[in-house]
Copies of this chain bind each other. A is one copy, B any other.
Amino acid sequence: MASAPDDDQRIGDISEGTVLRAILARTAPAANTILGPGDDAAVIAAPSRSVVATADTLVEGPDFRTAWSSGYDLGWKAAAVNLADIAAMGAVPTGLLVSLAVPRSTRLSFVEQMADGFREACAALAPGCSVVGGDLTVSELLLIAVTALGDLDGRDAVTRAGARPGDVVALAGELGAAAAGLALLFARFRAGETPVAVERSELDAAQRHALDRQLRPAPPIALGPVAAEAGATAMMDVSDGLALDAARLADASGVTLALDGAALDALAFAADRERAIGGGEDHGLLATFPPGVLPEGFHRLGVVTARAADGVLVDGAPITHAGWDPYRDWDGAL
């Protein structure tokens, strides 16, 4: 949808109202919206008399590079990572609020593509949910702060703290694909240290899949409520790698997750177990279920045991890989 550069105005040269109108024209109505964008605040239905709310931000530098991610990619990813947190509580996403901080030199078409990415990610991953509000500011840096809201459909939230010894440990979604995509970007699409545009034609099908999962993650949002309905005792989304996130669930529940190496290998992207355990950003759903329960779409990874010295074991041995943490691991480069 990019206009020719000559017609494609820069954000700093047009009014906030013009930019917001362009964004709203690309925003689908949300099924649950009582009052949409344009007033001081939006009003969204909360039929369960409670609302699930989460916030997650993508910052240029630690979280993305504009040489690698299009506006569409960024809108999609900012939506997907927040939708995954709602799904991980067992809730259905009802609306997104998007706070954009953009440099003055940003093209209007880039922001329009971002709106397209938000709309299409919601349509694909969480039909009925869409952007219901937000704000726009100018900034030296591109930053996308999203709040997602959701409804529990009368159920209790599924926290990280409910896993019990004897439960099944299971995962819906991928393990390692997004990290493989990131590795590919660093290895293949830089000139020296500088990110350069991706040439998809240079990649094979598996590499293109990994790249897609890094740039446009596709977490199994619909399976969050399915897991809750099936009686999941604990659940979370795997954003920082299985090693780190499984340890968080184990700590919150006061148990140990005893994982099966062969089951990990079966799910690992490109049969790379280390990346499957350490790589983040797949946003799969890690859940525990009572014995004998395993909803369709979830894959058994192991069992919950009484707390041992380590919170996570693979074939009986502790994991040493720490997972990817952009807060800690980002080197400061843009």
Q: Pick from B61, B88, B147, B157: contact of A55, CB below 8 A.
A: B147
Q: Mark A56-96, 1 if CB is under 8 A from B, else 0.
A: 11010111000000000000000000001110110100010
A56 in contact with B99 (CB, 8 Å):
yes
B34 in contact with A138 (CB, 8 Å):
no
Could you say how many copies of this chain the assembly holds?
Answer: 2
CA distance A136 to B326 in the complex (A): 11
Confirm or deny: A203 has a beta carbon within 8 angstroms of a beta carbon on chain B.
Answer: no
Q: Mark A304-334, 1 if CB is under 8 A from B, else 0.
A: 0000000000000000000001111010101
Among A41-49, A116-124, A172-180, A183-191, the one that faces the other chain is A41-49
Contacts of A38 in B (CB 8 A): 252
Q: Mark A268-287, 1 if CB is under 8 A from B, else 0.
A: 00000000000000000000
Contacts of A159 in B (CB 8 A): 35, 39
Contacts of A59 in B (CB 8 A): 101, 137-139
The answer to whether residues A99 and B133 also contact, given A34-B50, A59-B138, A104-B332 and a CB cut-off of 8 A, is: no
Confirm or deny: A215 has a beta carbon within 8 angstroms of a beta carbon on chain B.
Answer: no
> Which residues of chain A from 226 to 240 have a CB within 8 Å of any chain B CB?
235-237
Q: List 19 A–B pairs whose Cβ atoms lie within 8 Å, in order of A's numbering.
A: A34-B157, A35-B159, A38-B252, A39-B89, A40-B54, A40-B85, A41-B85, A41-B89, A41-B91, A42-B54, A45-B50, A49-B49, A51-B51, A51-B149, A53-B133, A54-B133, A57-B99, A59-B101, A62-B139
A sample of 16 more A-B contacts (CB under 8 A), given A41-B52, A140-B334, is A15-B327, A39-B89, A39-B157, A39-B161, A40-B84, A40-B85, A40-B160, A41-B148, A42-B54, A43-B50, A46-B48, A53-B133, A56-B135, A61-B139, A61-B140, A143-B145
By a beta-carbon cutoff of 8 Å, the part of chain A in contact with chain B is 15-16, 34-35, 38-57, 59, 61-63, 84-86, 88-89, 91, 95, 97-99, 101, 104, 132-141, 143, 145, 147-150, 152, 157, 159-161, 235-237, 252, 325-328, 330, 332, 334
